[in-house]
Structures are given as C-alpha cells and as structure tokens.
Structure 1
Amino acid sequence: MKLVWQILAVVAVSAIGGQIVSAVQGNPWLSLLLGGLAAVLSLLVYRWVVGRTEGRPVTELARQGARGALLRGLVIGVVWFGCVIANLYFLGDYKVHGFGSLTGAVALIGFMAGAAVTEELMFRGLLFRLVERGTGTYIALVLSGVVFGASHLLNKDATVLGAVAIAIEAGGTLAAAYIATRSLWLPIGLHFGWNFAESGIFGTEVSGNGATHGLLDASTSGSKLITGGEFGPEASVYSVVFGALVTIAFLWLAHRRGTVVPRRRTERVDALVTLAR
C-alpha cells in the first residue's frame, strides 16, 4: 500500500500538471510559469508522500548540494546531446536554416522542466529505487530502463527502435547517475539538459512528439539509423553510443563510491548517500 500511495500521488500531480501546461502551450510565459510550478509541486508531493509512507528523511531530494547537482546535470546533458548533433552535422545529416523562436524556447523551458522532474520521480525515484531493494542495482537498472523505453511507445511517431534506444541511452544513463550519487537532482538536471538541448536549442524532434520551435530552425535527413528519423535523434545510433559511454562512466564512479547494491540484498540503501557524497 505504501507503493500504491506513492505512485498514485506522483502520477496524479504529474497528470494534472501536464494537462495544465499543455493547455497553455500557445503562451510561452504561462508555459514557463506553470511548467515550473508543476515541477515544484511534484517535488513537494514526492517528498511528502515518500517521507510519510516510509517514515524516513527523503535523502534523495536533500536540499544540500541540490543546486550544484542540477547544474552539473544540465551541463552534461547539453554537452552529451551536442556531441550527437555535432556528428550528425559533420555527416551532413543536420542542417541549420536560420534562427528559430526565442519565445518558443522559453515555453519549452517550463514544459521540459515539468517532464524531467515528473519522469525522474516516477522512474528513478520510485520504480528503480524500490525494485533495487529486492533485486539489486543491475537488475533494477535493466528493468526500469525497459519500462522507461516502453513508455515512449505511446508517443506520436514512436518506433520500437526508438523505444529500445531510449531504454539503453536514457534509462541506463539516468539510473546510473542516480546510483552514483544516490540523489535525484543530478538525473533531473541531466534529463532536462538533454531534452532542452534537443528541442529548445537545436530544434529537433523529441521522442516522436512532433516538430519543435527552439532557438535554431533546423532539420535532419538521411539514414534513420543515423538520424533517428521521425522519432528524432534519440533513436540515433550516436545517442545510444554516447549514452552507453556516459552510463559506463557513472557506473564506474558508483563502484568507486561503493553505492552499488548487490543482488538480493534487501537492506535499505539510504545509508549509501553518505558514501556517495
């Protein structure tokens, strides 16, 4: 029942926030404001329901070090996607036609912030964290990644290849970032940085959700294996390769810090936060 209450609370806030932000997408400033409020409300609800049902300090959302972790995640996410775009550009598969829309990019900040926060709370804060208690780190990483990738099959222009790519590059990388730090702040920043770079800066498709209006007016063309096709660069082989490298780096760091939970070890992992820091 604890798990049920946690899921219901986070899903309800996420769904309501998503509907409100979608309803005001035509107004960039309202999108920015309401998207930010939805993200903050989701964090507060998660902190409240997890703290109440599990009877513990919600250390994965500790305020200490939150700003630095968010910033580091943001930088890593933008650089990571920038590496993907750079490869597509040098192959001639990514072309910039001019400047896009500043207000469009502003609107995407709120939308992407809300999406990054709610998805990290659901998939890393709840799904991965709770599965890890009974199965260990690596099984939980695989299972949560598969579920995260499969959830994107509901998107417009979704493909099985795109879902598999997201399961590997995003599901793996974001979970590994959590494992290494035992904090949700780094994966939230990483998730936001990747998504905003993809749409708000470089103006490409995001998980098959349709055209975006970022700072650059750009387009991709060429092999679907390279560009990701209509699903967007997230389905590109370059995204998978770079994502796998980032995942390996975080897991290496996790092993150095001793924050990997062995299989079938069921002790609470909250004590690992001290080691992670």
Structure 2
Amino acid sequence: MFKNDANQVRAGWILLLAAVSMFVGQQLFALPGVFVLLFTDSSSMMTGSEADLLASFDDYPWIFLLTQGGGTIGGMLVTVLLWKFLNKGTLQTLGFRRPLKDLGFGLLLGAISIVLIFIILYATGDVTLLKPFSQPEFSVYTLTFLLLFILVGFFEEMFFRGYVMRTMADRGNPKWLIYIVSAVIFSLAHGMNPNVSLIGLLNIALVGVLFAYMFDVTKSLWLPIGYHITWNYVQGNVFGFPVSGTTPHGIYSISVEGGNELLTGGAFGLEGGMLATLLIVLGFLATRVYEKMRGDA
C-alpha cells in the first residue's frame, strides 16, 4: 500500500505530504501581510466577510503583494526543501537546466497567445476598449502584479511540473499518467478561485498538460515558467481581463458586457473561454516547432 515493487514510498503519499507541507508553508509566510492589513485596516478583519477582506487587499496592493507573494515564496521554499531532503535531488534535477533562451521563448509565446486572443475578441466586438490605446494607465498594480506573477510562475512550475512530475517519474509511473495527474492537481488547485467555471477548470487542466509537455520535451522548467508569467500578466495587467477569476488591474480597461461568454470567459477571464482553448492547443504546435529548431543546443 505504501511502497511500490521497487520498495520505494509510492508517489501518491509523497505528493500528499508535499501538498500539505506546501499549504502550511504558504499560510505561515502569508501571515506577515495579514497582520499588516490588520493594523492598517482593522475594520475589514473585524467583519469576518471574505468579500470585505479581498476588497481591502485590493485597496492596498503592496500589502496584497506581501501576503500573496509571501505565501508564494513559502511554497517555493517548501518545494525546494522537500526536493532536497526528501527526494534527495538538486535544483538542476528539479528542472533548472539549459540556457535561459527557453525562458525568453516562453515569455514571448505566452504574451503572443494573449495578444492574439485580444485581437480576435476586439475585432469581433466581443470586447470593448474603454479608453484608446494611446491612453494607457500605469499604476502601482502594474509593478506589484508583475512581481507577483513572476513569483507565481516560478512557484507553480516548480511544484506542479518539477516536483510532481519528477517525483512520479522517479517511481516509474507512465508518462501519460504523469501528465494527467500534474494537470488535474494544477486545475484542482484553482477550484476555489472566484467566479470559477467548468470551462475555466478544463482550460487550466489543458494548459497544465501544455506546461507538462514543455517541461518534458525541454527537460527544463524555463519554458513553462516564461509562458506562465506572461500569460497571466498580459491577460490581467495589460488588457485588464480577470486572471482565473481574480480582480484585474490592466493598463487598459475593457468591457465584455454583451460579448459571447463562451469566447471571453466572462467573470473568470480568458481562461474560461474557448479562444483560450484554441491558443493553448496551438501552444503545443509552437513548442514542438521550437524544440525541433532548438535541437540539443
């Protein structure tokens, strides 16, 4: 039950321990931000309303970064410690290998994917731009969410791809199962997000498979990390779409009222729409072409 035929502890038990440890680590590292909010805006903490609490974080972007970013750093630290002391691995075996060229291509591919979705929605009238392109509105959110999405890109790829996939692979699990398990866990981790939708969860699982494919063919986390960062940031902080249901703070403001929710994703954001499905699928092709051109260099 607990060990496989090779007398190794089964991957499922290790992943369960890792998930619980990661959750605890995230909560502990998020506490400083919660305490700062408590002293800054105690009324939001006293009401006990989750909506009021989230609204208060929205009013204090640096406190939000301290809380969410702190939790993310906690998750990364737990992942590294588990990999080093439980799995007996190194950062290189976790997936930090190959030149940073992979990171650059990932950043470009993620950004282009969101830009193409926006262009299609804008051309079809499913998205309305509330102010001209010549009038971007930069704010403190432009910087704080850049930092946050960089941390999120690193943490989620380190855990859901690096840790989960390598732990399963080291215990002889078949590749198809590794892909599915990492993608399903990734999707379920977003299941409590605001305005969650079935299409949104399916698309998150699908992009999880794409990230797994990127990691598998490059043997490196850099490509999925890059894609993950710009997919989130361009979506939420350039064009102003919700990112997996979270509040957007774009340099441009858009409206999807009257648009086809199957395309726009509605309140969940682009990940809840079918255009995201299309671009994620095209991401497999782009990754394949890139790796063919890249070779083993």
- TM-score class, shorter-chain normalisation, is 0.7 to 0.9
Alignment size in residue pairs: 258
User: Are residues 1:180 and 2:217 paired?
Assistant: yes
The structure number with the bigger radius of gyration is 2
Tell me if structure 2 keeps the 8 A contact 1:124–1:178: yes
The match for 1:131 is 168
Partner secondary structure for residue 183 of structure 2: helix
Distance 1:65 1:236 in 2: 34
The match for 1:157 is 195
| TM-score normalised by the chain length of structure 1 | 0.78
Cα 1:113–1:18, aligned 2, differ >3 Å: closer, same or farther?
farther
Tell me if structure 1 keeps the 8 A contact 2:103–2:226: yes
Partner of residue 84 from structure 2, selected from 23, 42, 51: 51
1:246 deviates by: 0.8
Structure 2: runs of 5 or more not aligned? 1-12, 38-56
Cα 1:17–1:196, aligned 2, differ >3 Å: closer, same or farther?
farther
| TM-score normalised by the chain length of structure 2 | 0.73
The match for 2:251 is 215
Tell me if structure 1 keeps the 8 A contact 2:58–2:64: yes
User: Are residues 1:96 and 2:129 paired?
Assistant: yes
Distance 1:114 1:148 in 2: 16
The match for 2:110 is 77
The match for 2:119 is 86
Comparing 156-165 with 40-49, greater Cα deviation is found at: 40-49
Give the fraction of aligned pairs with identical amino acids, expressed as a percent.
Answer: 25
Matched residue type, 1:97: L
Cα 1:213–1:35, aligned 2, differ >3 Å: closer, same or farther?
same
Matched residue type, 2:124: L
Cα 1:71–1:137, aligned 2, differ >3 Å: closer, same or farther?
same
The match for 1:10 is 22
Matched residue type, 1:53: L
1:228 deviates by: 0.8
Matched residue type, 1:50: W
Distance 1:185 1:228 in 2: 28
List per-residue Cα deviations over 1:189-241 (Å, max 9, x = no partner): 211110001111111111122x3112111222311111111111111111101
Distance 1:69 1:155 in 2: 30
Distance 2:232 2:288 in 1: 22
What is the RMSD of the two structures over their aligned residues, measured on CA atoms? 3.1
Tell me if structure 2 keeps the 8 A contact 1:153–1:160: no
The match for 2:145 is 108
1:133-148 equivalences under 5 Å are 133-148=171-186
Partner secondary structure for residue 153 of structure 1: coil
1:52 deviates by: 2.1
Matched residue type, 1:112: F
1:163 deviates by: 0.8
Which structure has more relative contact order (CA 8 Å, sep 6+)? It is 1
The match for 2:261 is 224
Comparing 137-146 with 57-66, greater Cα deviation is found at: 57-66
Structure 1: runs of 5 or more not aligned? 258-274
Partner secondary structure for residue 233 of structure 2: helix
Tell me if structure 2 keeps the 8 A contact 1:202–1:217: yes
Cα 1:154–1:193, aligned 2, differ >3 Å: closer, same or farther?
same
